Amino acid sequence: MIRTQIQLTEDQAQALKELSAKTGLSIAELARRGLAPLLRDGLSEHDERARRAAAAVGRFHSGRDDISSNHDRYLTDD
């Protein structure tokens, strides 16, 4: 196996320590098990949709300059 380092948030590190203690599995084993589906399947459908939606931001123009403040008015069916 190859040794590597990753940076986790404090919450992630704490949750991993707790899960490791609860299951008896090492943090490295938990990381390998968590990464396996991502590496096997790639981006999930949800992640792919989010990526496509983010790519579309700013590509369309309504001609209105007040949508950010009046969005509810434009989105309701009155």
What are the tens digits of pLDDT across the range 35-76? Answer: 888 788 777 777 888 889 999 988 888 888 888 898 888 888
Any domain includes 1: no
The reported pLDDT for the residue numbered 7 is: 97
Q: List the domain range (segments joined by +) for residue 24.
A: 17-53
Q: How many domains does the chain have?
A: 1
- What residue spans of the chain are helical by DSSP H? 10-23, 27-41, 45-56, 67-75
Any domain includes 32? yes
Give CA torsion, residues 51, 45, 38, 59, to 10 deg: -10
Residue 71 lies in a domain: no
Q: Is residue 74 part of a domain?
A: no
pTM to 2 decimals?
0.55
How far out from the chain centre does Cα 4 lie? Answer: 22
- 60 within some domain: no
Can you give the pLDDT at residue 78? Answer: 59
Question: Alpha-carbon distance 56 to 49, whole Å?
Answer: 11
In a domain, 9, yes or no: no
Residue 34 maps to a domain: yes
73 in a structural domain: no
Query: What is the signed CA dihedral for 32, 47, 7, 12, rounded to 10 degrees?
Result: -80
